[in-house]
Amino acid sequence: MGILSGLKGWATRQVLQLSSMEGWSAFVSPTRAGVSVTPESALRNTPILRSVALLSETIAQLPIGVYEEESKKKAKHLPLSVALSLEPNPHMSSFTFREYEMNCVLMKGNFYAEIVRNGAGQVVELWPWRPDRVQMCKDDKGGIWYEYRPADGKSAPVVLPEKDILHIRGAFTDGYV
């Protein structure tokens, strides 16, 4: 077994030890060693940091695009294509957005982004939400809603229907989050 495969095996075991089907909330209390582990503190462990960075940067580099159904050609002219492959919002590149997306899935279990549409209903912007500030809710008719609590603690929560949220799920046990 080479050094890299040994390190990969060790990092995988570390990530598996830090993962939980119930999510990171299982680590609020101290571990057997007496140390509380959070996604942020886990990133102080160099193999975990490098594993997350490697996966996130690799996913962010993959080509992404929107294709026309009939011709199977890239539809570069559509606003959604621009939002996904060039600039999801005025403050992020596509690479940064997708790198953050993968970081959230790996470290928090879910990624959420608000979908902003133009007057024609086309997706023009994607704004990421911090996963720890999102609550998924189901109404009495079975509809899914997402509630985002702003960081300031004073602003009213933003509540949007499922159609206005891009939700990428990591490992889950309930089929939702």
In three-state form (DSSP H/G/I as H, E/B as E, the rest C), the secondary structure along 31-74 is CCCCCCCCHHHHCCCHHHHHHHHHHHHHHHHCCCCCECCCCCCE
pLDDT value for 106: 93
Greatest alpha-carbon span in the chain: 59
Residue 34 pLDDT > 80, yes or no?
A: no
pLDDT, mean of residues 133-146: 92
Residue that wins the pLDDT comparison between 126 and 37: 126
Q: Is residue 171 within 8 Å of residue 109, measured between CB atoms?
A: yes
- Enclosing H/E stretch for 110: strand 110-117
pLDDT, mean of residues 91-114: 95
Query: What is the pTM assigned to this prediction?
Result: 0.74
Q: Is residue 36 within 8 Å of residue 29, measured between CB atoms?
A: yes
- Enclosing H/E stretch for 129: strand 123-129
pLDDT value for 76: 82
* Per-residue pLDDT tens over the stretch 58-79: 999 998 888 888 888 888 888 8
Tokens of 166: 């891009």
Q: 118 in helix, strand or coil?
A: coil
- Percentage of the residues of the chain whose pLDDT score is greater than 70: 82
What is the C-alpha radius of gyration for the chain, rounded to an integer number of angstroms?
Answer: 19
pLDDT value for 30: 64
Question: Mean pLDDT of all residues in the chain?
Answer: 83
* Rounded Cα distance, 37 and 160, in Å: 32
